[in-house]
Structure 1
Amino acid sequence: MADGVAIQDASGRTPKPDLPPDSSQADSPLALRAHRTNLVNVPAATLCSEAYNDEPRRLRIGATRSEHAALFEALDESPDALTASDIFQRYMAELFGVNPDFSGAEGPDGKRRFRASYLRLLKGWMFDSNRAEGAVLKGWVESRFGLLPTFHGEPIRRFASDAWAAYGEQKQSTRFHNNNIHLQLDLLYEFCQWTIRRGWPDAPMPNWASHIRLYRGVNDFAEHHIVARPDKRTAVLRLNNLCSFSIDRDIAGQFGDHILDAWVPLPKVVFFRDILPRYPFQGEGEYLVVGGDYRVGVSLL
């Protein structure tokens, strides 16, 4: 266990502080939480449920691992996390023509061509998850895991709504939705999961863990539909299909007066900074997590 990191090897419960009164949550988000199908080995309706979070199963995106076996064979031979990260980024640079320092390619006419990159999407998300980069990432979760977004700039409560139309337009943005961007994100997810299971000595979670304790700061609950209130200090929230948490409670407290405290199943972790240590992400301690219904504790700063 790393210093300051709470790890759980089975489902557990968070502290149970007071929850603010419910105000306008009666108008629920989309009637369906998820699509009927997805590209992972767990049905979308199960994946977005609280029951899955209690007893998670390992997730695989289609045949990503088998179709890129050379990458994962090379990763298995890596002696440490930094070498593994370099192998991954070198593979991505060769396959998609992207790297941390250059986001374009020169065409036959000598002009620079923009190439969509998983790195650009991550950087854009950490700056503002409600921009086009965030929509593309949420669209990838929708496509692969089958979970519908509940918020993008504003609550998404119906398919036939301006909010849904705006999200749909941004997630198909040609600026970010090219260069096999979904495949790039598939590989990023599988690399993240490979890193978690490898369990390096200095990793933020041991390879026997099933959950990690993460925090999210909020000022209100406009982004989070309240599904249930088992008691005054606990809530079941329907989190956006992709959302950010922090491993550091103090950092989470910089983003809101209320702290959500959740045990997140490791198969739902899409990205955390430690898997790409050479890339200068600003959101230190940030984890990108697949959403759904989560039982959380809520505390005031």
Structure 2
Amino acid sequence: MTDSKELNQNRPLFGKFADGADSRRCCDNAPSVCKANNTLSGAADITAEVLRTTLPPHARRAINRCNLPADALASLAFQLGPQALELDGVLPLHRTLFERLDELTAVVDRAALFQSYMTAHFMLDDAPALGLSDNARINRSKLDYLRLLRGWLFDSEGREGAILKAWVESRFGLLTGFHRRPIPAADSPEREAFDREVATGLYTTCALETQLDLLYAWAQYELGRRNPGISHLTLYRGYSGAAALPLLDELGNGHSLVQLNNLSSFSASRERADEFGDRVLACAVPLAKVLAFSQLLPGRLQGEDEYLVIGGVAAVSWLN
């Protein structure tokens, strides 16, 4: 686990920009793939103080389960200079899986191996071996990582969405700011309702949060294999209403600093994003902040180039 007191040990994350180094880089020719951040192209110079902008203490936890504390990975500096995020213990435990994946060149073959491994490791096809009975009052043995992703793609504000957002809270320390309605504080009725929905959703499931740990690690592996040398993807999201997205600062030339929810859906298609709001924003999303995407499992997930993006502070540009 990583305590926020360890932030000083990760100062290179910020120092890279504090000394005046170029924090704006060029995008390659592909419209949706960037070798680095192009969100701030044409914006005013960004000061070191702005680069350190992160979530307020009430929006994050002091402890998480990855290699960077929440205030670092939620900062603008992380968006501009991302580092790989690793969940505690996941890669060492499943090293053999990734060694076998290294031997496969086809995306469909790697996806098939991953699904077979998940089924075997978590015994997803053998409920009795997990101590679950068909006669149980509540049988949730079939609620696995695939059903969570499908549930999110169908309705991100449903029970599956609550479980995924709670997983981001636990692993990355970024608290949920919106689920059907704003969640203002830890002791609010909205927060209590959210926690109750999560607890109900996780009840009698098969290590569902641990399944998501491995899903994230594999998604990161796949993004690296499919996008060698790439650090960011240019993704789009539609919003409606002036208060739909907390605004932190104006950066000039149509660029804004905003606070994203701890988990949100983005699209690789601007036209698709335009269907979901009055305004569309573009954001250079670090690959490290992609939990999953609709093309991760060919033929198993529905979605229009949809990406599940872990939140924090982000520089965005409004397109309309």
Question: Into which bin does the TM-score normalised by the smaller protein fall?
Answer: 0.7 to 0.9
- 8 Å CA contact 1:16–1:233 kept in 2: the answer is no
Shift in CA distance, 16/111, structure 1 to aligned 2, threshold 3 Å: farther
- 1:64 has 2:84 as partner: no
CA distance in 2, matches of 1:178, 1:246: 30
Checking the alignment, whether the CA contact within 8 Å between 1:121 and 1:133 is kept in structure 2 is yes
The 1:157–1:174 alpha-carbon spacing in structure 2 relative to 1, beyond 3 Å, is: closer
Could you say which residue in structure 2 is the equivalent of 1:246?
Answer: 267
Partners of 1:257 and 1:183 in 2: CA distance: 37
Range with bigger deviation, 251-260 or 3-12: 3-12
Query: 2:210 — aligned with what?
Result: 183
CA contact (8 A) 1:236 1:293 kept: yes
Q: 1:111 to 1:189 in 2, by over 3 A?
A: same
Unaligned runs of 5+ in 1: 18-28, 200-205
SS in 2 for 1:168: helix
CA-based RMSD: 2.5
Judge conservation of contact 1:36–1:44 (CA < 8 Å) in 2.
yes
Deviation at 1:132, TM superposition (A): 1.4
* Counterparts of 2:133 and 2:206, CA distance in 1: 19
Note the C-alpha offset of 1:130: 1.4
Equivalent in 270, 274, 292 of residue 312 of structure 2 = 292
Q: Which residue of 1 aligns with 2:46?
A: none
Are 2:178 and 2:261, in contact at CA under 8 Å, matched by a contact in 1? yes
The Cα shift of 1:133 comes to 0.9
Q: TM-score, normalization: structure 1?
A: 0.85
Q: In structure 1, how many angstroms separate the alpha carbons of the residues matched to 2:133 and 2:285?
A: 49
1:164 and 1:16 map into 2 onto residues whose CA distance is: 39
* Aligned partner of residue 213 in structure 2, secondary structure: helix
Contiguous gaps of at least 5 residues in structure 2: 1-26, 44-54
Instruction: Note closer, same or farther for the CA distance 1:55–1:108 as it changes in structure 2 (3 Å cut).
Output: closer
Letter in 1 for 2:107: A
The answer to whether 1:229 aligns with 2:229 is: no
Listed as ranges, the matches of 1:23-102 within 5 Å are 32-98=58-124
Deviates more, 1:229-238 or 1:260-269: 229-238
Aligned pairs (5 A) from 1:193-208: 193-199=220-226, 206-208=227-229
Q: Percent identity?
A: 36
Pick the aligned partner of 1:152 from 157, 179, 182: 179
**Aligned 8 A contact 1:155 1:222 in 2:** no
Residues 114 and 79 from structure 1, CA distance in 2 versus in 1: closer, same or farther, beyond 3 angstroms? same
Distance 2:176 2:133 in 1: 40
More helix by share: 2
| C-alpha separation in 2, matches of 1:233 and 1:16 | 9
Quote how far apart the aligned CAs of 1:220 are: 1.9
TM-score normalised by length of structure 2? 0.80
The one of the two structures with greater contact order (alpha-carbon pairs below 8 A, sep at least 6) is 1
TM-fit CA distance, 1:174: 4.2
